[in-house]
């Protein structure tokens, strides 16, 4: 990647962990370490603005200098965007300090203001017990399997209703779903064994191009609206938060999988987040791991 057009603050000696001799070269090294082109562009842009607001350079900057520069570049931004800027700068400073580029990491004492959207997200994450209650409260086998697959795969409601049986591939004792997400990006999602069995038992004599979750009125894909209505009615029957939506199961997947030891990379890949390199194209045709495999299978029984 070409060195970004950033202010170059020369330093006198070669740092032991990096060949970077300037702030600009350090940023290039840091950015090149990121996984996706999308992240590289955003992080390089943030770093450029930060260095422009830090005339003395990273190596000579004090904590106060860093705070003032951050205040300058985040002025007028939304809370969530400002938070991302602060986190990126802290990452850059930590990277430089870890490699010996500077003796002091001025970013360590910089506090990240909580983003209220994160608080709202936390309110939308139901517990494992509640997920189990929701699945068991489903009136039909189709609805039960749909809820189990939505949670185990961390799928968006649009991805759930679009599934065809051709997208369901048996890999040993597990099912692999070929999922088309936002922007037409495709990914492979591996389901736990217990959920795989539930899903395969639902097929009957359906053909490859038939919908996995069909409408009862006609042999067509369920509408997203119908899934939303079903989830809310099932939540009421289960005695849990009636504000729950299909997307809450996706949030729950991410939270619960991380709690149970899934790596961040596994969760990002399974959920198909756009800023992860593996989600910009197809995932490996035969994944041997998935964050869904870290979930408690007792929920589905």
Catalytic residues: 156, 182, 247, 250, 273, 282
Q: List, in sequence order, every residue forming a beta bridge with 177; answer none if it has no partner.
A: 168, 189
Nearest in space to 66 (alpha carbons), one of 47, 79, 41, 39: 47
Q: Is there a contact between 144 and 231 (Cβ–Cβ < 8 Å)?
A: no
Helix (H, G, I), strand (E, B) or coil at 217: coil
DSSP letter at 87 equals H
Q: What is the DSSP string of 247-266?
A: HHHHHHHHHHHHHTT--HHH
Rounded distance, CA 80 to CA 100, Å? 31
Q: What is the DSSP string of 126-141?
A: --HHHHHHHHHT-SSH
């Amino acid at each position: 990647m070409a060195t970004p057009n950033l202010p170059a603050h020369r330093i006198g000696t070669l740092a032991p962990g990096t060949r970077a001799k300037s702030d600009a070269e350090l940023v290039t090294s840091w950015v090149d370490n990121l996984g996706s082109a999308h992240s590289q562009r955003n992080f390089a842009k943030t770093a450029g603005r930060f260095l422009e607001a830090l005339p003395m350079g990273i190596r000579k900057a004090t904590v106060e200098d860093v705070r003032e520069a951050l205040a300058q570049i985040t002025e007028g931004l939304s809370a969530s965007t400002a938070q991302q800027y602060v986190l990126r700068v802290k990452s850059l400073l930590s990277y430089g300090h870890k490699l010996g580029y500077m003796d002091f990491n001025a970013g360590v004492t910089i506090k990240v203001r909580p983003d209220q959207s994160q608080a709202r997200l936390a309110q939308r994450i139901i517990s494992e017990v509640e997920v189990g209650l929701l699945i068991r409260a489903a009136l039909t086998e189709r609805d039960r399997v749909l809820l189990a697959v939505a949670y185990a795969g961390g799928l968006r409601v649009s991805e759930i209703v679009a599934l065809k049986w051709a997208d369901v591939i048996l890999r040993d004792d597990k099912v692999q779903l070929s999922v088309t997400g936002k922007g037409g990006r495709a990914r492979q999602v591996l389901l736990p064994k217990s959920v795989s069995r539930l899903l395969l038992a639902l097929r009957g004599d359906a053909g490859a191009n038939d919908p996995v979750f069909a409408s009862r009125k006609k042999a067509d894909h369920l509408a997203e609206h119908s899934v939303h209505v079903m989830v809310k009615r099932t939540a009421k029957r289960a005695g849990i938060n009636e504000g729950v939506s299909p997307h809450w199961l996706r949030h729950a997947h991410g939270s619960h999988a991380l709690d149970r030891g899934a790596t961040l990379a596994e969760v990002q890949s399974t959920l198909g987040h756009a800023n992860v390199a593996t989600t910009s194209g197809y995932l490996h045709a035969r994944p041997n791991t998935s964050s869904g495999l870290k979930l408690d299978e007792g929920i589905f029984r």
